Amino acid sequence: MALIVNFLKQMSCQIATINLSQGKKSAGISDIFIAQPDAIKESLAGKLFIVIELSGHNSQSLKVINFLIDRINHNYYQNDKILLRERITTLRPEHIFEAALAKTNTEFRDFSHDEKIKIKNSQINISVGIIYKNILHFANSGKNKVFLFYKGSENDKKNKEQANEKKPGEKYKIIDLAKADREANEKNESNKLFSNVMSGDLPTRSYILIVNEALPEYISQKQLKQIITTLPPSGAVEQIKSTLGQINSYVSFQGLLIKNTVLDTPKINSAAVHPEETRDSIAELNVTEDTTEQLLAPSGILNVKKWLAFAQSLWPWRADSGPKNTIVLKEQIYSKKKSSQFLNNIFSLVKQGLIGLINIPLYLFRLLANWQKIKNIAANIKPNLASVYKKYIAKIFRLSNKRKILLGAAIILILIFSANIFINRQKQQKTEVENNYRELTRLIEKKHNQAEASLLYSNDAGAQKLFNEITELLEQLPQLTDEQKQKYQDFKNKLELQLEKTRRVVRLEEINELANLSKLNSQAKPINIFYSPATEEIYAADPQDKSIYVLENDNIITTVTDLGKPINDLKFPAAAGEDSVYYFNNGSIIEFSAKDEAMRDLSINLLHDASQFIGADTFSKRLYLLNRQVNQIFRYNRTGDSFSNAYAWVQESADFSEAVDMSIDGHVYVLLSDGQALKYLRGKKIDFKLEPVDPALSNPTKIFASEEQKFLYILEPDEERLVLYDKSGQFILQYKAPFLGNCLDFAIDETNKKMYFLSGTSIYFAPAPHLGTEE
């Protein structure tokens, strides 16, 4: 029944709108919004309305209007406290309204930053209000005008007769309620859109007109008063539209007209109540302030106002002992909530404290200037303390039992009071920490969602910026409890997954172990693998066992061992023919023939220390060796069972001191330890640079390219990845898998779209998605 009564009270106001827009010809965008909540919410929270206009006709203005209308409506009607109003009588709509505007301020600031909105608050003209039980609460920002049309005072008979003789509409008075707000906003330099809320009762048969700045410039207040007070709201609005429609100007006009249709309240016996004792808006706001303060006060804290009031009531000569002088508001129907003297008192206390702190050094300086006085003070401290102690202890013992009890009770109360203050302070600090944590997690989740949207629309640059912001926020996220640690890890994992999308990471999921050489030989220690396209076999070299393991295409492993050969190493496998491979054996070259399953020792004239050769490859039946000590690539021709006539292939100065590997496909690629690669043709360096990858290459171990294959491959075990480039240096993607952290070598079969990896003593196979699916 209470809800029905409240709802009927909401219906006591009629609302009509004025919206004359010139479309694209106008200088701005505007909108009028009247909420349509369900009956329950309207009975508990009233009806919300918004009048908004933005200068500038662009997509950003429209985006801001839609955002503000949506968030204000959501923050007000979706507040959980609305449903609590039936049980908590002191919880009022204005409290929820103020909270909704405060939250909107914060959300709009974040929205402007995230969406890079360049519209200033001064360009936004917005009036937001609610009507609840014949009471209006509203906030205004910008140049909108809020006019109140109300009947003047007619308490005496003479005024009544004069009013009846006047023409209709002339007995109404007009007040611009937002005038003070506009002046305050012009001086206000804060970034808040809403800073004040005004509240008050709507007078009987009064009108509220909220319009943009342009409308009163074309229709005078006198005309508005004549139209509004003599016609019903719908008729008045049509009359105003008709008048404005005759104006030949590219100006938009917006307005909202509210009429209070409640009948006059029954007259109260003047003998019982004096007219001057009528309740005014300021008194009501003071009561609201006191009630709200009691609700928000922490438990255990003494109510200073209450005790001061009690003490004042006991004082015989208090100032208000006589009859109260109430102030009757005449012209100012609405009053803005005024701040109390609390801040001034705080400022005064801080000022006195600072003066005291300044005086301390002066006192110490004066004290130090008199050294003898310091000696006397030091000499008297000890006996004085002892005498003071004895003196007061003796006084306590001489007290009567009643006073001892009172003293003990006072001490206990002081201790309880101090403990209570300490506990409440701890609670407040804990609550503040929890609120900060919740706000931080909410912000991180919001950034994650924005990054996901950026990735969806291929905005990698925007997503990367958000990832950097998330990383900074994660550094601030506390990890004190197990729950917080888990939350941090969840955010971290989600960030990694999102980063992988911008980093073009492809996870190798379909991994198969082709062979584990330790099962064939428990002492096996292979150091590299080589794939032969001609035989479709994989060769794994094990210099410690002087063996080469041959993995055939049916996964049968054959071991070729020659203990008679002086094998010290089997590095840098390079194609020697269709079924043979060269291995660098420090001072010689080992040729392995898969057809004969035999190894042959070939001599070579190195000219330099063998330990300084760090890479080898073949091209056109010639052997190339990279020496970083002399910054040169040597080319050898084979004659019989030997390589002779070393030729210094690089024809210009070069720096190979940081080189780690080389590969040839017609061009010679030299991989450096910092992740860069040099490209040579006919002995001369050509312009070439690898596109940056995230994270950057920092410790790669191998580069691979061949004449038959389209891509350039770089292995980096430290990051568990194999990075792919095209041969112009453009980054394609990066494969990642945990087993790549122990990867010693890899081989690519682009014809059959397969990749092979040597990790530990195991040889793995994985499909190559970048080459497409195998037919």
Query: From the CB of residue 150, how many other CB atoms can be counted at a distance below 10 Å?
Result: 20
Q: What's the whole-model pTM score? A: 0.48
**Contact assessment for residue 31 and residue 69, using Cβ atoms and an 8 Å cutoff:** yes
Residue 319 in this model has a pLDDT that exceeds 60:
no
Distance from the Cα of residue 532 to its chain's centroid: 53
Angstrom distance (rounded) from CA 460 to CA 648: 45
Residues in a beta bridge with 677: 671
The per-residue pLDDT for 163 is: 41
Q: What would the mean pLDDT of 397-414 be, rounded to a whole number?
A: 83
Q: How confident is the model at residue 697 (pLDDT cuts 50, 70, 90)?
A: very high
CA 311, CA 331: separation in Å to the nearest integer? 37
> Above 90 in pLDDT, residue 527?
yes
Residue 417 and residue 397: Cα distance in Å, rounded? 25
Q: What is the helix (H) or strand (E) element at residue 555, kind and residue range? A: none
What pairs with residue 535 in β-bridges? none
Please check the confidence at residue 278 and state whether its pLDDT lies above 60: no
274, two tokens: 């004096």
The average pLDDT across 438-467 equals 86
Residue 617 pairs in a beta bridge with 624
Kindly tell me if the per-residue pLDDT of 412 is higher than 50: yes
User: Residues 643, 637: contact at Cβ < 8 Å?
Assistant: yes
Could you give the CA distance from residue 412 to residue 429 in angstroms, rounded to a whole number?
25
Asked if the model's pLDDT at residue 728 lies above 80, the reply is yes
The three-class DSSP label of residue 432 is helix
**Position 400 confidence tier, pLDDT thresholds 50, 70, 90:** confident
Q: For position 667, what pLDDT does the model report?
A: 95
- Integer Cα distance of 468 and 474 in angstroms: 10
* Max avg pLDDT among 28-42, 349-363, 671-685: 671-685
Q: What is the pLDDT of residue 7?
A: 41
For residue 684 the two structure tokens come to 């001369």
State the pLDDT confidence band at 187, using cuts at 50, 70 and 90.
low
| Rounded distance between C-alpha atoms, residue 361 and residue 367, angstroms | 10
Q: What is the pLDDT of residue 127?
A: 93
pLDDT of residue 268: 34
Residue 739: per-residue pLDDT:
92
> What pLDDT, on the 0 to 100 scale, is given for residue 293?
47
CA distance 203 to 201: 6
| pLDDT average, residue stretch 499-524 | 89
Q: What is the CA radius of gyration of the chain?
A: 44
* Res 404: pLDDT: 78
In Å, how far are 70, 90, 100, 140 from 50, measured between CA atoms? 11, 26, 13, 10
| Burial of residue 198, with CB atoms counted within 10 A of its CB: 0-12 exposed, 13-18 middle, 19 or more buried | buried
**pLDDT of res. 166:** 44
pLDDT value at position 44?
A: 85
Strands 659-664 and 588-593: unpaired
Instruction: Specify whether the CB–CB gap between 97 and 65 falls below 8 A.
Output: no
Q: Taking 50 as the threshold, does the pLDDT of residue 155 lie above it?
A: no
Locate 66 and state its tokens. 């839609």
DSSP bridge pairs for 257? 16, 209
Least confident of 101-115, 225-239, 323-337: 323-337
| Separation between Cα atoms, residue 738 and residue 508, nearest integer Å | 9
Question: What distance in Å separates the CA atoms of residue 461 and residue 14, rounded to the nearest whole number?
Answer: 51
Parallel, antiparallel or unpaired: strands 731-736 and 505-507: parallel
Least confident interval from 104-118, 274-288, 411-425: 274-288
Measured CA to CA, the distance from residue 351 to residue 615 in angstroms comes to 76
607 contacts 593 by C-beta, under 8 angstroms: no
pLDDT at 677: 96
Single-letter residue type at 121? N
Host H or E run for residue 278: none
Q: What is the mean pLDDT of the chain?
A: 80
Query: What is the full DSSP assignment across 166-187?
Result: SPTTTTEEEEETTHHHHHHHHH
- Top pLDDT among 280 and 512 is at 512
